[in-house]
Amino acid sequence: MLLIHPPVAKPGEPPAGIARLAGELRAHGLPCRVLDANLEGLLWLLDQPSPATDTWTRRASRSRADHLAALRGMDAYRSPDRYRRAVSDLNRLLAAAGRDSGAVPGLADYRQDGFSPVSGADLLRAAEEPERNPFHPWFSQRLPELLDGVRVAGLSLNYLSQAVSAFAMIGFLRTRFPGLTLVLGGGLVTSWLRRPGWRNPFGGLVDHLVDGPGELPLLRLLGAEEPLCHQVPPAYDPLPLHDYLSPGLVLPYSAAGGCYWNRCSFCPERAEGNAYRPRAVQRVLADLETLVSRHQPALVHLLDNAVSPSLLRGMAAAPPGVPWYGFARVDEQLADPDFCRDLRRSGCVMLKLGLESGDQGVLDRLHKGVDLATAARALRSLREAGIAVYAYLLFGTPAETEEAARRTLAFVAEHREEIGFLNLAVFNMPISGDEADAYGTAPFYEGDLSLYTAFRHPRGWDRKQVRRFLDREFTRHPAVAPILRRDPPVFTSNHAPFFVGG
């Protein structure tokens, strides 16, 4: 079997999904190959002669190798201006390489004229016309090299930015290798399959669509005698671990699927009915010990929607031996200064916290389960322990008003010394969310695969007003602007730990 991670996604670390599947298949004695088509494809595009007509692009082209080396070393992370220049120039080169195809590929995004990732018809056309994809000259050569003796190819599609290129690759494979069984899975595919009224537009093109974890469906498809997951570590060794754009190997690891809280009214995980599937803490710690010993990473990235309190305690008691970071929920445990110091000693350099709002009434309406007084104590405890906070805020929910948004601004300003980085998002209502029936009005994106609905805000706090508040007031506040300027462009939280030390 060939497992494929298609372009485009941030190329800062190896793809956890196909590594996890490869580990499971190997444990069952099933040979497989893996292809990070995202990393390889982006590096191939960057290596093409630049059709530069302007001074900026010509300069970026001359510095291409230096920029790649800078993102793979630490010096650029000690000089934010150098880092920003490298990321900006590489993005510019990618955009120039896609120009003749009407595409704008980047280090974290992909757009192409006439191809919407939320339109089944457009994705089918991408499959019918794969030569229009800027990655086609590369994958039309690379894929045949890997398919000798392979009877099943699986693509892991997790982000909208991957969809158009994934279907271009599928179209090429279907035409060139008609006997090949094609399987499509990943987070985005799961969301499509759980969309209300789902009708499959890809019959005849894709043989199998996988809903949720792919291990059991693949094992059964490949004829495993005992299709029972062995809970083995991911297999990263077949991937080009030294080529990713980070200063040392970042090792991603998922300790659980779904979210242990699973009550937030705005959350797509809840809307889609994704169950919480944790691995036992001791199994996680054993996996991390094995993986760290085998690969000697510079950083471990815990991918969970929220690392469970029990796993945080386990990490504090049995450190992985290298720096690590991940998402966590604010609770009394994180408000304990002694526990935060234990976390820091275990190697925790940063925690991502979904604060969402600085207004208690909004948090209660969203069923967030966060107490602002506890959040304030957690922020202080984390800062005193030396753990950076990457805070996530969500504006424009049905529970929020302009006055509540200003209370969020006041909360951030009060805790500006304790918040290292900020992510500001405007609320999108999941099409199957708790409040979609009450406030939903029409598809948010034009397309049959849209996962969100436009909605009528019950208090008139619409997206236009929210964006105006963010642009004119929130982001310009003297306490907030310096925090936002610290955010690494494009790679954001994936590279933020390298700016805080460890």
Name the residue with tokens 């929220």.
Answer: 306
34 and 90, same domain (yes or no): yes
Which comes out higher in pLDDT, residue 297 or 276?
297
- The CA distance from 477 to 482, in Å, is 9
Mean pLDDT of 157-170: 98
Choose one of 172, 205, 221: the last residue of a domain.
Answer: 221
Of the three residues 221, 238, 261, the one that is the final residue of a domain is 221
pLDDT-based confidence at residue 485 (cuts at 50, 70, 90): very high
CATH, residue 487: 3.20.20.70
Count of beta carbons in the 10 Å neighbourhood of residue 40: 19
pLDDT of residue 310: 98
Mean pLDDT across the chain, nearest whole number?
Answer: 94
CA 172 to CA 140: how far, in whole Å?
A: 7
pLDDT score, position 224: 85
Say whether both 302 and 378 belong to one domain. yes
Q: Which domain holds residue 262?
A: 250-491
Element (H, E) at 209: strand 208-209
324-328 and 181-185 beta bridge pairing: unpaired
Find, among 398, 402, 464, the residue nearest to 430 by Cα.
398
Q: What is the CA angle 428-433-436, rounded to 5?
A: 80
- Judge whether residue 245 has pLDDT over 80: yes
Evaluate whether residue 325 is within a structural domain.
yes
Within this chain, do residues 144 and 263 fall inside the same structural domain, yes or no? no
Q: Is 181 within a domain? A: yes
How confident is the model over 78-119, as pLDDT tens digits?
Answer: 999 999 999 999 999 999 999 999 999 999 999 999 999 999
Tokens of 304: 């969970």
Task: Check residue 445 and give its pLDDT.
Answer: 66
Q: Are residues 192 and 266 in the same domain?
A: no
Helix (H, G, I), strand (E, B) or coil at 153: strand
Q: How far apart are CA 52 and CA 69, in angstroms?
A: 22
Residue 190's nearest CA partner among 210, 165, 207 is 210
The stretch 296-300 carries a mean pLDDT of 98
Return the DSSP state at 101: G
The C-alpha atoms of residue 36 and residue 278 are separated, in whole angstroms, by 26
Mean pLDDT of 68-78: 96
Distance of CA 207 to the CA centre of its chain: 26
311 within a domain of the structure (yes/no): yes
Q: What pLDDT was estimated at residue 202?
A: 97
pLDDT interval class at 230 (50, 70, 90): low
Question: Region 258-269: what's the mean pLDDT?
Answer: 83
- The model's pLDDT over 8-67, given as tens digits with 9 standing for 90+, comes to 999 999 999 999 999 999 999 999 999 999 999 999 999 998 776 789 899 999 999 999
Q: Do residues 205 and 256 both lie within one domain? A: no
Q: Do 191 and 273 belong together in one domain?
A: no
Predicted pLDDT at 502: 47
Q: What is the pLDDT of residues 304-355, one digit of tens each?
A: 999 999 999 999 999 999 999 999 999 999 999 999 999 999 999 999 999 9
Where do we find the tokens 């820091």?
A: 344
Q: Do residues 177 and 206 lie in contact, with contact meaning Cβ atoms separated by under 8 Å?
A: no
Same domain? 210 vs 329 = no
Helices of type H across 303-371:
309-317, 337-345, 360-365
Question: How far, CA to CA in Å, does 467 sit from each of 118, 394, 403, 471, 474?
Answer: 23, 12, 15, 6, 10
Inside any domain, residue 233:
no
CB atoms within 10 A of CB 55: 8
Examine the domain organization and report whether 469 and 367 are in the same domain: yes
Distance CA 25, CA 20 (A): 9
- pTM of the predicted model as reported, rounded to 2 decimal places: 0.96
Q: Looking at residue 452, what is its pLDDT?
A: 87
Instruction: Examine the domain organization and report whether 209 and 261 are in the same domain.
Output: no
Evaluate whether residue 240 is within a structural domain: no
Q: What is the mean pLDDT of residues 393-405?
A: 97
Based on the structure, what is the number of domains in the chain? 2
| Domain membership flag for residue 350 | yes
Chain segment 407-441, per-residue pLDDT in tens:
999 999 999 999 999 999 999 988 877 777 777 66
> In this structure, are residues 458 and 398 in contact, taking their beta carbons and an 8 Å threshold?
yes
Shared domain for 162 and 309, answered yes or no, is: no
Do 442 and 353 sit in the same domain of this protein?
yes
pLDDT classification of 269: cutoffs 50, 70, 90 = confident
Residue where a domain stops, chosen among 204, 221, 238: 221
The answer to whether residue 245 sits within a structural domain is: no
The verdict on 430 and 285 lying in the same domain is yes
Asked if the structure places residue 372 within a domain, the reply is: yes
